[in-house]
Amino acid sequence: MNCLSPDSSKEQRNSLELPPDSSEEQRNCLELPPDSSEEQGICLELPPDSSEEPDSTEEVRNWLELPPDVMCLIFEKLGAIEILYSAQSVCSTWRKLSKEPQLWRSVDMRKRRDSLFGDEYIMEKMARESVDRSCGQLVEFSVEHFGTDELLQYMADRTT
């Protein structure tokens, strides 16, 4: 499904746009810019307007009410870079949770964000922070394309 007509300019297709709301039957969608392997962008269907009041019989749950062990499992799926780069900045509860030593027993920093590619200084800082957060419980640490002898020594000195 395309949000924009095929004759729309390339400049329009490469920006994030919401389609005009012309009828109630028209679905809301968000045009994503094309990937390097695609000719046209992708259109994601947006959920119905969330400003409506929830049905009184519908139960609404708060993420903050999830038990910490469940949240730790979710954080483990994110990985070290995503926790350090974004998740810990969401709220104070997530920041506190991001410092749990059990999250840092096995650290994999091989898949990094494109914005961090080539920035060894930031990656090494994140690696050191991961080691510190493990509180000596680090068992496994994986990196690619960065790392120094000093970083290895830092890990060895702080791991039991």
* Residues composing the chain: 160
Domain coordinates in residue numbering, the chain: 68-158
State how far the alpha carbon of 101 is from the alpha carbons of 53, 56, 92, 106, 152, in Å: 40, 40, 17, 10, 19
Q: Are 131 and 155 in contact (CB under 8 A)?
A: yes
23 has pLDDT over 60: no
104 has pLDDT over 90: yes
Q: How many CB atoms lie within 10 A of CB 75?
A: 21
Average pLDDT over residues 50-75: 75
Q: Say what the pTM is.
A: 0.55
Distance CA 152, CA 131 (A): 10
Residue with tokens 């392997």: 37
Confidence band for 18, pLDDT divided at 50, 70 and 90: very low
Give 75-91 pLDDT, tens digit per residue. Answer: 888 889 889 988 888 88
